[in-house]
Structure 1
Amino acid sequence: MTFLAIIIAVFVFAGTIKGMIGLGLPAVSMGLLTIAMSPFQAASLLIVPSMITNIWQLFAEGRVWAFIRRFWTLLAGIIAGSIWSFLPTLSQSHGHHSEILLGCMLALYGLYGLCVKKLPHLGQYERWLSPVVGYLGGAVTVATGVVIIPVVPYLQSLHLQRDELVQALGLTFTVSTFCLAFFLHHHPMQGITLDYRLSAVALVAALLGMWLGKKIRYQLNEQRFRRLFFMGLTALGLYMILH
């Protein structure tokens, strides 16, 4: 019962953050869940909530095919990186290396959000950067369960319009989640089975959190909340590294 309560509480909280600022569900849920369970088990719980919310984010604005044509090399890189990863994967590291790497990713993402005010415009290098960034993102996905660095900063450096950025993130997150689900299914960890019923419970909790987040979005100072969010991610990442 306590285990189920932890899952519900984490995904309601992570969903609330996503509802308020439009991101953070995988990073927050993975970071908090790995305090109580292995990264492999946490990643398996993340599959359904992440998949549903990312697909919704992808198709909300239409023009999906145009984004696929533009970012197909980025997506191909994510797939290649998840298949031929150069990092210790969730099933290989038995939790220790994955937890440290996830902590590093969360801390870097938090520091990036706090410190970087204006990114350079990398649009002119998009043709050759996309497959490289995609490969690194795919490798990080199967090593930590979360695709953050370097995909999110890279897409933001292309200076897309806000709706375009949200949709591009939805596209890359959807593909990386499919890759993660495929990887976890074909590389099971001894003693841990994927429980999609618990993942469905996590989905309901995440959707409830998103609903709550949208309700309170306009009652808070968004910039201040974003700052607190990135500070929290940095602290959580450092805790995982030191712990």
Structure 2
Amino acid sequence: MHDPLLILIAAAFLLAGFVKGVIGLGLPTVSMGLLAVTMPPGQAIAIVIVPAIVTNIWQTFGGPYLRDIMRRLWPLMIGTVIGIWLNAGLLTGPYAPWGTVTLGALLVIYAVMGLSRLQFKVASRNEKWIGGIVGLVTGVVSAETGVQVIPSMPYMQAIGMEKDELVQALGVFFTVATVALAFNITASGLLTAATALPGAVAMAASFAGMFIGQAVRSRMHPEEFRRWFLIALILLGLYIASNALIRIHA
């Protein structure tokens, strides 16, 4: 893999890690979005997967809520794993180019929902069955794009998780989902020895970005940063989706 691409990977993961350090999420979303400008989603997720798993495991054990999270989110996690496994091959099949369009659209939807402060509420008696359905949908989306924030994150907010528990819950959920996705991309032949060097660069840049983000979090206003991050995500998503559509119809 040539040096300019390694520099791009380092820059993408430094920024993605920084975002995760400041607001607690966004590493796969930002890195997939940036890498998708220059490579297919299948190649991008092969680079993203290991840093995503490691950083999410770190986040998983960063709080005291693990038992409660497992009790409440097991249907969501099982549904997501099933959705991912049933749709193995979407990243490399004949419709793979449309995955980039979907990824761009999802980034826009995710950002618009964040900016609008759109709130959903799910009653506790309905958590289990709704969680399973949301998980299946999230699994299909993840199998196609490598991103798991839609619709899982709005669901976790809708069941009333508080800020600190939500951050830990995202770590738990994303760990399970990315491990399931790792099996898919390994079976598809995407995760190979050739991804070891870019993966190592991505890992180092991710942790550097996270440490920088955590260091400056106390000096920044997180809400202001979050707003500009979401606006940038809309622009990135529109660019990715329109570029992919132009290539498909060329």
Q: 2 CA distance for matches of 1:143 and 1:181? A: 13
Larger mean CA deviation between 218-227 and 60-69 belongs to: 60-69
Give the superposition deviation at 1:66: 3.7
Cα deviation for residue 36 of structure 1 reads 1.2
**Counterpart in the other structure of 1:218:** 218
1:57 to 49, 56, 59: 59
Matches within 5 A, 1:20-35: 20-35=22-37
Whole-Å Cα distance in 1 between the matches of residues 195 and 30 of structure 2? 20
Count of aligned pairs: 241
Equivalent residue, structure 1, for 2:13:
11
The Cα shift of 1:117 comes to: 4.7
Equivalent residues in 2 for 1:52-131 (5 A)? 52-85=54-87, 89-93=90-94, 95-131=96-132
Shift in CA distance, 57/43, structure 1 to aligned 2, threshold 3 Å? same
> 1:228 corresponds to which residue?
228
Q: Which runs of 4+ in 1 moved over 3 A?
A: 121-124
Q: In 2, distance between residues paired with 1:175 and 1:30?
A: 18
Q: Which amino acid aligns with 1:140?
A: V
The Cα of 1:94 is off from its aligned counterpart by 6.0
Cα deviations across residues 149-208 of structure 1 (Å, max 9, x unaligned)? 10000001111122211121111100110011000001125xx87513321220110000
Q: In 1, Cα distance between the equivalents of 2:143 and 2:194? A: 15
Give the aligned residue type for 1:238: L
Percentage of identical aligned residues: 38
- Distance, in Å, in 2 between the alignment partners of 1:222 and 1:92 is 40
Q: Given that residues 100 and 240 in structure 2 are in contact (C-alpha distance below 8 angstroms), is that contact kept between their aligned partners in structure 1?
A: yes
1:19/1:213 contact within 8 Å kept: yes
Matches within 5 A, 1:149-188: 149-188=150-189
Contact 1:41 1:194 in 2 (8 A): no
Structure 1: which amino acid aligns with 2:240?
Answer: M
CA distance in structure 1 between the aligned counterparts of 2:106 and 2:12, rounded to whole angstroms: 19
Displacement after TM superposition at 1:239 (Å): 1.0
Letter in 1 for 2:228: L
Deviation by residue 1:115-171 (Cα, 9 ceiling, x = unmatched): 125433443320210110111111111100110110000001111122211121111
**Alpha-carbon contact 2:83-2:136 (below 8 Å) kept:** yes
Q: Cα distance, 1:77 vs. partner? A: 0.3
Normalization by structure 2: what TM-score? 0.90
SS at match of 2:133: helix
CA RMSD between the two structures: 1.9
Report the secondary structure of 1:61's partner residue.
coil
Instruction: Show CA shifts across 1:49-86 (max 9, x none).
Output: 1001111111111443442233221111011101113x
CA–CA distance in structure 2, aligned partners of residues 209 and 24 of structure 1 = 12
Whole-Å Cα distance in 2 between the matches of residues 122 and 113 of structure 1? 21
TM-score normalised by L of structure 1? 0.93
Q: Unaligned 5+ residue runs, structure 1?
A: none
CA positional deviation for 1:95: 4.1
Amino acid at match of 1:236: L
SS of the residue aligned with 2:218?
Answer: helix
